[in-house]
Structure 1
């Protein structure tokens, strides 16, 4: 009986298997890149996030030549986990959630672009109580932040409170977390708390939409500027795809009606490049406030 044999030597068989495995992996990578999975921290109502993203998603599909899917997440932590566990490809982070993702992933997250407004972003403190005119007046009062992982709704307002020698956990009667900026306005307006803090962009949007009774609610303190939001991706995203995404944002032209709609919905004058170093102050503030583990 003749023995069967392979026409390939052991070395060639090994090479053949490696090539086959490589092609399989490549095809898996290619199919994975047929859809760009995008999300955002849920700092506003889910329906509002979807509305804001729709024309941006259509533009990205056109520029990238691939399907772009917006995947809402339940909370801020889920946006961080989604990116570093490779369930998401790109996320709209606040400064603090970007820092969390950067630390959790051991620097495997890259911020691509930010709005020009995010170079000097601010938070506002609001109240219905006319006796509250400065941060020190919050002692003994009830107060709400936004989400615990929010930069402009928690981390930076807490930092400025601490700088004013007010520890929210011990000096206030009660603190709460509304979960989102628009919910903070509703809590203060509805008398559930004496005061609250939120990001200035959402505050100004609600004012423009006539959704705030300014005879009832007013701003009594505005923070100094700090770096905040950005669009981030994983470091393992192909460089050419990263460049296409970055260019799509940087080339948005307010003189173009379609681009202007996107910029207006994103509450942006224009997008500019950003880098991880811009968020060092946020990281330091998070450490100082005991919020970064």
Structure 2
């Protein structure tokens, strides 16, 4: 009886010890990713869903998409390590690098981002060139957008047109699709946005091209990338890079993700690719 009692006591103590250990064990780590809100929240969530599922399989951990309210919030989230991975435009990457003290590391970009472009659109038949925008109401996207503001502004300045001096009014729609809506509705005379969103809206028949048309396409430049903080362990960084590089249109999963990301494939990138963006931002007075 005595030995049986001891056995029961030991089992009870062991059970208690397991409960204590379980309580003290750290919660399951969550890998968080975010993206600049250059499109509507519903579209961003739709694009992220299959990528989240894929990365969970490749990283072996729970992955969550964390939406942010604006471009600045995405920059701050990565700089302060509130997220592990961020989808940036070239300019927001430069801002994140500055805010983090040079600790923002771009891993991969779409093949399309090596020669990205912006387009200027209008419904006004008298607007045929950038010079015709003088005295007009013109919309950009977010002030921190590479393809919706910085690079369009940079090419305007190169053409001798200062938006703040030469336009009647400069508007900021906040997102590329919102810029198209503003132009289509007549709220502004013209607008600038990234060519990828324009092509997608046209393909989905969400814009009437008999009324809204492109009148200027910019020269190419480097743009979007997936960026991590330099404090991420090298092994995890390598695993994450490989996951993106392994995406292929030859598989149903890869095709879905790449189509939603509007990518042919992902390729490695590096900080040096965005020196031109940084120079344009400083020249335009958007980066100190």
Structure 1 length-normalised TM: 0.89
d(CA) in 2 for partners of 1:283, 1:68: 31
Q: Which runs of 5+ in 1 are unaligned?
A: 1-27
Per-residue deviation at 1:31? 4.8
1:6-21 to structure 2, matched below 5 A, reads none
State whether structure 2 residue 44 is matched by structure 1 residue 49.
Answer: yes
Q: Partner residue of 1:112?
A: 107
d(CA) in 2 for partners of 1:230, 1:290: 23
Q: Partner residue of 2:234?
A: 239
Are the structure 2 counterparts of residues 202 and 32 from structure 1 closer, same or farther at C-alpha, using a change threshold of 3 Å?
farther
Are the structure 2 counterparts of residues 101 and 155 from structure 1 closer, same or farther at C-alpha, using a change threshold of 3 Å?
same
Q: Partner residue of 2:11?
A: none
Q: Partner residue of 1:153?
A: 148
Q: Which runs of 5+ in 2 are unaligned?
A: 1-23
Q: Which runs of 4+ in 1 moved over 6 A?
A: none
Per-residue deviation at 1:32? 7.9
d(CA) in 2 for partners of 1:276, 1:48: 28
d(CA) in 1 for partners of 2:245, 2:27: 25
SS, match of residue 102 in structure 2: coil
State whether structure 2 residue 74 is matched by structure 1 residue 79.
Answer: yes
Q: Partner residue of 2:7?
A: none
d(CA) in 2 for partners of 1:176, 1:118: 26
Per-residue deviation at 1:253? 1.1
Per-residue deviation at 1:33? 7.6
d(CA) in 1 for partners of 2:275, 2:26: 36
Are the structure 2 counterparts of residues 119 and 191 from structure 1 closer, same or farther at C-alpha, using a change threshold of 3 Å?
same
d(CA) in 2 for partners of 1:133, 1:213: 18
RMSD over aligned Cα atoms: 1.2
Are the structure 2 counterparts of residues 275 and 86 from structure 1 closer, same or farther at C-alpha, using a change threshold of 3 Å?
same
Per-residue deviation at 1:164? 0.8
Per-residue deviation at 1:230? 0.1
State whether structure 2 residue 265 is matched by structure 1 residue 265.
Answer: no
Are the structure 2 counterparts of residues 173 and 73 from structure 1 closer, same or farther at C-alpha, using a change threshold of 3 Å?
same
Q: Partner residue of 2:191?
A: 196
Is contact 2:108-2:244 (8 Å) kept?
A: yes
1:164-203 to structure 2, matched below 5 A, reads 164-203=159-198
Per-residue deviation at 1:34? 1.6
Aligned pair count? Answer: 265
